[in-house]
Chains A and B, each alone.
Chain A
Amino acid sequence: MTDHDHPEDRRVRDERLERLLDRAAREQPSRRAPPTLEGRVLREIVRRSRSSPRQSGFTRWPLAVRAALVAGCCACAALVMLAADPLIVRWMEELRDAREALSAVGALVGRLVGAIPTDWLLGGLLATALLYALLFALLAVGCSMLGIAPERARSTPT
């Protein structure tokens, strides 16, 4: 905005320009559709009506066929579940055995860890962290000595 722009004057000019555009739009008749459009649409309708249901998507199949397919799939799933019931029971038992075995191992590990003094545990964790820090520091020094620079992110937006 310049020093000479008054908000009210500007608003009036904006509204005047808008009214002129509105008038131009109201008076603008529709563009004539190309003569080929009608033929294209009708040919496509005929083509789609002649294509077999298998060639079109599931949503275009007759409702009765879709309902029968869904019911059939549900019936098959129920049959499979019934047939597999003994198998499922056995799998559940094996899962329970595996869970018990894992619990036993976990309890053993817990007892072993519990037997270690707390100071030793904390000291070990601290030593591990320091060793990792030293490793990364050595890596950084080595890279800088060899002149290997890390990849930089692009600074300009795409």
Chain B
Amino acid sequence: MCPASLRPIDSSEFTAFMRAYQDMVFSTAVRLTANEAQAEDIAQEVFLRAYESFGELRASPAAGGWLKTVATNLTLNHLTRYRRRWRFFSEVFTGDAPEEQLESAAAVFDEIFAETDAEQRRALIEQALAALPDHQRVPLVLYHFEEMSYQDIAARLRVSLAKVKIDILRGRLALAGLLAQRGLDESLAGSRVRP
């Protein structure tokens, strides 16, 4: 029997493969870039590379992990030009956040979980993530969504470990602030959030 890696590529098979993973790939790119057009370009490149390696990927249980890794790497390469800005901001704004900010940020998330349904929560979080500045959003997404360690993030972004931790903490606080503001806006408007 012909090994999977040597069989000719069937377009319907690759299309099914793409449909199974395109949401995951697109999500990875759009959460990091906060730009749907750029994320679509990156997702296209990811699947073109997957097509070139489809002989090995088609039967591999690690195909999802491979796609996620390639999507993350391509997106970070695309965002490389922001690296100096990250370092600059992290050097200028140093120091710990006040404890009351941490407490109020946690309270915002508690409220989000308690008073919104899943659909509302999804939309609020996606909107708030997209509104974060790049130097906070990228390490935050890498840590909480891509489940990378602080050390891996620091190595990948070529910044110090301390800067990664500061940026992630400030990103959490900023995200909470944006969620609180959006929640307030929604309650003033008297409407429910639609995805």
Q: Identify the A interface with B (CB < 8 A).
A: 1-2, 4-5, 9-10, 13-14, 16-18, 20-25, 27-34, 36-38, 40-42, 44-45, 48
Interface of B is mostly: helix
A-B contact count (CB 8 A): 99
How many Å lie between the Cα of A133 and that of B27 in the bound state? 68
**Contact in complex: A21, B144 (CB < 8 Å):** yes
Residue from B43, B102, B103, B113 with most neighbouring chain A CB atoms (10 Å): B102
User: At the interface, yes or no: B19 with Cβ under 8 Å from chain A?
Assistant: yes
How many Å lie between the Cα of A18 and that of B43 in the bound state? 29
**Contact in complex: B106, A37 (CB < 8 Å):** no
* Listed stretches B44-52, B55-63, B73-81, B155-163; interface member: B44-52
How many chain B residues touch A (Cβ–Cβ < 8 Å)? 43
**Contact in complex: A10, B99 (CB < 8 Å):** yes
User: At the interface, yes or no: B13 with Cβ under 8 Å from chain A?
Assistant: no
Q: In the complex, what's the smallest C-beta–C-beta distance from B110 to chain A, in angstroms?
A: 7
**Contact in complex: B51, A45 (CB < 8 Å):** yes
Partner of A13, one of B44, B102, B112: B102
**Contact in complex: B144, A34 (CB < 8 Å):** no
User: At the interface, yes or no: B98 with Cβ under 8 Å from chain A?
Assistant: yes
User: At the interface, yes or no: B67 with Cβ under 8 Å from chain A?
Assistant: no
Residues from chain B with a CB closer than 8 A to the CB of A44 are 44, 48
How many Å lie between the Cα of A41 and that of B9 in the bound state? 15
Q: Identify the B interface with A (CB < 8 A).
A: 11, 14-15, 18-19, 22-27, 30-31, 36, 40, 43-44, 47-48, 51, 96, 98-99, 102-103, 105-106, 109-110, 112-113, 118, 121-122, 125-126, 140, 144-145, 169, 172, 175-176
Residues from chain B with a CB closer than 8 A to the CB of A22 are 144
Listed by A's residue number, 18 A-B pairs whose Cβ atoms lie within 8 Å are A1-B96, A5-B98, A14-B102, A17-B176, A20-B106, A21-B109, A22-B144, A24-B112, A24-B121, A24-B125, A28-B145, A30-B23, A31-B31, A38-B19, A40-B40, A42-B15, A44-B44, A45-B48
**Beyond A38-B18, A38-B22, A48-B48, 19 extra complex contacts between A and B, CB < 8 Å:** A5-B96, A5-B98, A9-B99, A13-B99, A13-B102, A17-B102, A20-B109, A25-B144, A25-B145, A27-B121, A28-B145, A30-B24, A30-B26, A31-B23, A32-B26, A34-B26, A40-B40, A41-B48, A42-B11
